Amino acid sequence: MIEIRNLTKIYPATGSSPMVRALDQVNLTIKTGDIFGIIGLSGAGKSTLIRCINLLERPTEGEILVDGLDVAKLNAHDLRAFRSRFGMVFQDYNLFMQRTVARNIAFPLEIAGVPAAQRAARVTELLELIGLSDKANAYPAQLSGGQKQRVSIARALATHPEFLLCDEPTSALDSLTTTSILNLLSDINQKLGVSIIIITHETSVVRRICRHMAVLSENRILETGAVSDLVANPQSALTRQLLKLEQTVAEDAADAFDALDAFEAEVHAYE
Ligand SMILES: Nc1ncnc2c1ncn2[C@@H]1O[C@H](COP(=O)(O)OP(=O)(O)OP(=O)(O)O)[C@@H](O)[C@H]1O
Ligand SMILES: [Mg+2]
């Protein structure tokens, strides 16, 4: 289980750029075995949040506990072992263009010092999992976007991580390819028991594979819970908008009255 408590991340000012409070007092619990979606507008802090979870970014304040372990207290040696519990997948694949598919997948195993024979066996297994056994010796430039993302997922899984952190993994793919990648992620979750945290701006991704989700807005959690609950009973207009839920005319009117009430309250405060 990942417990995030009062997490604040500030990027300090540099040169001409002012400091940015990318996350502000974020609280979130992600259960082991879940597929957890994070949605929010651009700049809300989604990537920062998942980068803090595996300590690619150091939190400014707050705690992150992974199975009760306070990650801030890890020393350099433990940090390496800790990071190997996470695999990461990105929108633009981040494959090594000079390496074949097999050698891309083998890369984390090389870093971890796994002997060649074991590496080869693991790569064969992963190529089967992603359905690309015939592409072992191809180069990334010879693959479609969907195939590249499969290779990137295989590479992320090479060292048997417990968590897969996916930052907009299907945003560059067409809808059919998106479906095949979502099916693969679903299989990985169910068959291998890997917990998945997935950032997306596509409502279909959340609604098709996530069991729980959080909505981030301007560096804070707006709401979090079971996807079915948020779809059935969204607490905010942003959630409704991001999940592309139909808003009834009555709700439109209610929102307009709420806005008017808020405006009047503000005017009264001035008087
Ligand atoms: N390394 C960095 N240094 C300084 N500021 C940063 C850095 N990374 C992100 N930010 C800022 O932090 C805020 C949150 O950025 P983040 O990348 O987490 O947002 P996001 O929700 O992932 O957005 P998008 O949907 O566009 O990917 C933004 O204002 C961004 O400019
Ligand atoms: Mg991002």
Atom of ligand 1 nearest to the CA of 40: 21
Judge whether 212 lies within some domain.
yes
CA 47 to centroid of ligand 1, rounded, Å: 7
Q: What is the pLDDT of residue 32?
A: 96
Mean pLDDT, range 38-59, rounded to an integer: 94
CA–CA gap between residue 38 and residue 206 (Å, rounded): 8
Q: For residue range 194-223, what is the model confidence (pLDDT) as tens digits?
A: 999 999 988 889 999 999 999 999 999 999
Q: For residue range 63-76, what is the model confidence (pLDDT) as tens digits?
A: 999 999 998 888 88
49 lies in the same domain as 181: yes
Judge whether 263 lies within some domain.
no
The predicted model scores a pTM of 0.88
Domain range for 21: 2-85+161-227
Q: What is the pLDDT of residue 247?
A: 58
Judge whether 90 lies within some domain.
no
Q: Is the CB of 42 under 6 A from ligand 1?
A: yes
Query: For the domain that residue 183 is a member of, what is the CATH number?
Result: 3.40.50.300
Mean pLDDT, range 98-115, rounded to an integer: 96
Q: For residue range 127-180, what is the model confidence (pLDDT) as tens digits?
A: 999 999 999 999 999 999 999 999 999 999 999 999 999 999 999 999 899 999
Confidence band, pLDDT 50/70/90 cuts, at residue 230: very high
CA 94 to centroid of ligand 2, rounded, Å: 15
Domain count, the chain: 2
195 lies in the same domain as 74: yes
Q: Distance from CA of residue 228 to its chain's centroid? A: 19
CA 23 to centroid of ligand 2, rounded, Å: 13
Q: Is the CB of 44 under 6 A from ligand 1?
A: yes
148 lies in the same domain as 165: no
Q: For residue range 15-36, what is the model confidence (pLDDT) as tens digits?
A: 899 999 999 999 999 999 999 9
Count Cβ neighbours within 10 Å for each residue of 117-136 and write b for 16 or more, e otherwise: eebeebbeebbebbebeebe
71 lies in the same domain as 176: yes
57 lies in the same domain as 174: yes
81 lies in the same domain as 214: yes
